[in-house]
Amino acid sequence: MTPNLAEFSVQLIYMRIAVFIKSTTFHVGFGGLETQNLVLCEGLVKAGNDVTIFSPQKELKIENSNLNGVKYVFVNCVNRTLFSSLNSESWLNKSYKSFLELHKVQPFDIVLSQSSAGIGVIKRKKDVGVKVVSVSHGSILSEFKTRISDASSVSDWVNIIKDLVFVLTIFFGRQRDFILNSNRVIAVSEFVKKVIIDETYVPKEWVEVIYNGINPLLFSSEYVKRENDFVNILYVGRVIKSKGIDIILESLSKMKNMDFFLNIVGEGNFTKNAKKLASKFGISQKVKFHGRLGLQEIIKLLYKNDIFVMPTRRVEGFPMTLVEAMFSGIPIIATKIGGVPEAVFDGETGFLIDNPNVSDFTAKLNTLINDKGQREVFGRNALNKAQNIFSAGKMVEKYVSVFKEVLNENS
């Protein structure tokens, strides 16, 4: 997954970097955040830096590891947020202790905190004389609003009420702590930048937008012309109602006489309901639920499909599945919400719908199903955009540039 050094244009300098994240690709059930952190850290190592990742041990039986030049420290700790500063076994305190042990032997130049994972060091950064750059992937308030709008049962509301104290603690405490006490904040999209400025009042000049990147070498550098007997449609992500799975199925039910096939990749609590809907709409024979797949399997599937869909109701920070689709040269239909419009260029690489509803989505999907030429134009444009904007090399280059700026600042 390591990016090609030929992509870098800035002058790279050696740095010793400590990265804090709550989970890694070693852990069970890892997702996009963990994968992106891996790509970033391996890219930083490839660029000549020394990188150590600190993460909770959780179910792992090992305390240390080294993979592709990236060093890992798995901290045996208690993963609680409330009153964590008072608990000597908490992630906040144990992660700082583990960091300090290595920092005293050979000082780190800079700390990178994925969201609030580095809060233990952030709170004490002046004491240890280290600067911190944090990455914001979104807002817990936006996530909570989505849960409220998506609630459909008594149990949903019970869980929402139970989690309210935790959400408020994060919103008024942890989120503001890590953002306002970092030397610089990286937002994964312009949308996320606006949200955290509005919610924390962090000065806008402290926030830099860097899009997550993908290693282009995982994909073909040329547009692959698809020759399918059916128009294959793909969804990749969590199978939950707020992702718009019901919209996809109902829309396709209105086109059941067309030659299409829907592939759904992912797991979630809406899977059983989605299968029932497919049966109810009479399209079960045209839908396959693949479950959870690895990145390489997803890439292979992307090249077999003609249209990528994501009519999400959720406020998404920056969905990497859209970038993966772009690198495979596939047009996208998605909702104009959150950071999605920063990855889908309406009328150029696909279509954006203003509202996640069946009628608007059906109209755009019908257009692409019936127009192969348009699909190919959008697909070529998507690949070009991805290569120019969303490569891992460009991502690493921009992180290095931010690190250099922060290290050169006096405060």
CA count, 13 A, side-chain hemisphere, 362 = 14
Phi-psi region of 209 (alpha: psi -120 to 50; beta: other; left: phi over 0): beta
Strand partners, 153: none
Residue 294, pLDDT score: 87
Structure token digits, residue 187: 């937002």
Q: Give me the tens of pLDDT residue by residue for the chain, a chain 411 residues long.
A: 555 544 544 455 689 999 999 999 999 878 788 989 999 999 999 999 999 999 999 999 999 999 999 999 999 998 765 566 678 899 999 999 999 999 999 999 999 999 999 999 999 999 999 999 999 987 666 665 666 666 666 777 766 676 665 555 555 456 778 899 999 999 999 999 998 998 888 999 999 999 999 988 889 878 888 888 889 999 999 898 889 999 999 999 999 889 999 999 999 889 999 999 999 999 999 999 999 998 889 999 999 999 999 999 888 888 999 999 999 999 999 999 999 999 999 999 999 999 888 999 999 999 999 999 999 999 999 999 999 999 999 999 999 999 999 999 875
In total, how many domains does the chain have?
A: 2
The Cα–Cα gap between 328 and 408 comes to 39
3-state helix, strand, coil in the chain (%, to 5): 45, 20, 35
346 and 257 assigned to the same domain: yes
207 and 333 assigned to the same domain: no
Q: How many CB atoms within 10 Å of residue 321?
A: 22
250 and 195 assigned to the same domain: no
190 and 325 assigned to the same domain: no
- Coil, strand or helix: which one is 21? coil
Q: How many CB atoms within 10 Å of residue 355?
A: 12
Residue 167, pLDDT score: 55
256 and 143 assigned to the same domain: no
- Coil, strand or helix: which one is 123? coil
pLDDT of 136-155, one tens digit each?
Answer: 987 666 665 666 666 666 77
State which amino acid sits at residue 270.
F
- Is residue 302 within 8 Å of residue 278, measured between CB atoms? no
175 and 53 assigned to the same domain: yes
Residue 12, pLDDT score: 56
Residue 382, pLDDT score: 96
Residue 379, pLDDT score: 96
Give the CATH number for residue 315: 3.40.50.2000
- Coil, strand or helix: which one is 65? strand
- Expressed as residue numbers, the domain containing 283 is 218-389
238 and 304 assigned to the same domain: yes
- Coil, strand or helix: which one is 269? coil
Cα 338 to Cα 156, 317, 319, 327, 344, distances in angstroms: 23, 6, 10, 21, 12
- Is residue 47 within 8 Å of residue 400, measured between CB atoms? yes
Structure token digits, residue 367: 């257009």
373 and 397 assigned to the same domain: no
373 and 400 assigned to the same domain: no
169 and 251 assigned to the same domain: no
159 and 227 assigned to the same domain: no
Q: How many CB atoms within 10 Å of residue 65?
A: 14
241 and 311 assigned to the same domain: yes
